[in-house]
Structure 1
Amino acid sequence: MSIMYAYDVTTKDDYLIELAEKQSALLAFAVYPGVSLLHVFPVLRFLPAWFPGAGFKRHALKCRKIALEICDVPIDIVQKQINDGTAAKCVTVEFLETCQSKDGLAAITGAAASAYGAGADTTAASIKIFFQAMAMYPEVQCKAQKEIDAYIGSERLVSFDDRSSLPYVEALFREVMQWRPVAPLSFSHANSSDDTYKGCFIPKGTTIITNIWAMAHNPEKYLNPDVFNPDRFFNEKGQLNDDDVYYIFGFGRRICPGRHVASTTVWLAIVNVLQSFDIQKKRDSSGNEIPVDGGYTDGLTMYVPSLHTA
């Protein structure tokens, strides 16, 4: 929100954040092929919303209403600030200052909304997974904190310029991405020509879903993939290997356009939390640690259950 619109979120029930969360929840049950007969019989899109069995149409109308709000509301705020002379520097301000057509405005609005709508959900999910992992694996947290203390100390906060000097924190970041990829099935693709894979004929136009989860949990590549272990990203010489797990951002033309911002944002959140806080399990009235649920939800975006951490 700050990068795209210079908008500071100050409350947990911020209207624009609620919009993004509603959008994510609605899309989670409609985006993949097979969840509706509409994907099998596209002609059903012509049914009126009131028709029995046309629940997908009513669902789509809800999604459309929220999508339009996500596009229009924040850009309207920025435009008003520009007119009032109070606009702060951000991506949309820079583009709007040179925009000279309705098509250009539509492109700016769509691009900004895509970053806001996609990033609000996935970035938050990754950071929650980090907290879950640190509560479950305190030894990993301790090792990362020792590296930060040795290199940075307590006189200043970590900055992005320190990233290359903190290899274990980098490995921890990669493990967060690999351990619980937030978009386990990425986004659907379609092949542009007939193809054959392992003896299976795939006609042109076939919907293809990339199983990111299976790639990240391939035991031939990642030993004990369900165990949170950043050390897997070091080679025998103790150096970071070349596995940057960027496959979690998708592939080809539909790769996540905000992957560099996402990587930087999540890394900075992780390293600054580790430098400033100890993540511990909550204790009951008798002083005993309350176990952390190691589970997770499915859907378009993966989430961890509520965390019993303090």
Structure 2
Amino acid sequence: MLQTRFSIAPMMDWTDRHCRFFHRLMTRRARLYTEMLTTGAIIHGDRARLLGFDVSEHPVALQLGGSSPDDLATAAKIGEEFGYDEINLNVGCPSDRVKDGRFGACLMAEPGLVARGVAAMKRAVKIPVTVKCRIGIDDQDPEVALDTLARGVIAAGADALIVHARKAWLNGLSPKQNRDIPPLDYDRVYRLKAALPDVPLVINGGIAGVEEAKEHLKHVDGVMLGRAAYQEPWRLLAADPELFGEAAPHATMKDVFTAMLPYMEDQLARGVRLHAMTRHFVGAFHGVPGARAFRRYLAENGVKPGAGVNVVRSAIDLVEDSGPLSIAA
């Protein structure tokens, strides 16, 4: 059965396999997602590089960007063969390159096409197929736009819907502005859940941590944590205890890094540069004495040729021991 209660949002140019491995060390139960990968890249590109992941990442979903039902079906099948647990269609990304390629949030204007894409993927794979969308775009009425899209994809067989509770303005706002300027409308997502009580519905957008997630779970089936998981990853240590009644995989962030080092050594031996991994650690000790020195040391030394795990060990030594790092915050 598809676990929708808690997940970590996909972020373009950020949610790579190193980031997901790091996140998994803080929560066993969160559902992880790849960054959005276009159907063209998957069908014609280096699949091992694009789609490879560590077995510890399960459950992990592949997020697709595309609009051709045939291409979506082909890419979804490839993802299933690679071992992904879910295929997710992106109907929410507002970037210009996404709009130019006719995928992402602009597809909110073509709900029929989105539904056909979902139906094609459902025919192609046995794993769950889900959709991540906005509440609307530009001058659309969110009451009509979200309801139309939701009902269409559910009728086409979608197993769950993830809704970023914010409009996307494709004309006049940059992708960065789209993260903050259109106001969040959580109530619109709650109303959709009330209208479709049997549909698994996950809310996303502006959620700062696990305590806020618990409030949303009074109204919807699941919560997807976005930027907070990347800017302050230590918050993920609270997910399993607070949302699932289970112990966190590790008690402190220093324990997380102890578990991370063997993976890093293995990746370095495979030719991965240290900075490709340490860039995900910037917020690991946010608010703890020594955090600034930790970040500075990684920034200055992690990019040097031949940098190894000793750089990370030295950076961690600059952080004061602080217990569980307020994991319930």
Range into which the TM-score falls when normalised by the shorter chain:
under 0.3
Q: Looking at secondary structure, tell me which structure has more strand per residue.
A: 2
| Structure of greater relative contact order (alpha carbons < 8 Å, 6+ residues apart) | 1
Q: Looking at secondary structure, tell me which structure has more helix per residue.
A: 1
What is the TM-score when the length of structure 2 is the normalising length? 0.22
Q: Which has the greater radius of gyration?
A: 1
What is the TM-score when the length of structure 1 is the normalising length? 0.23
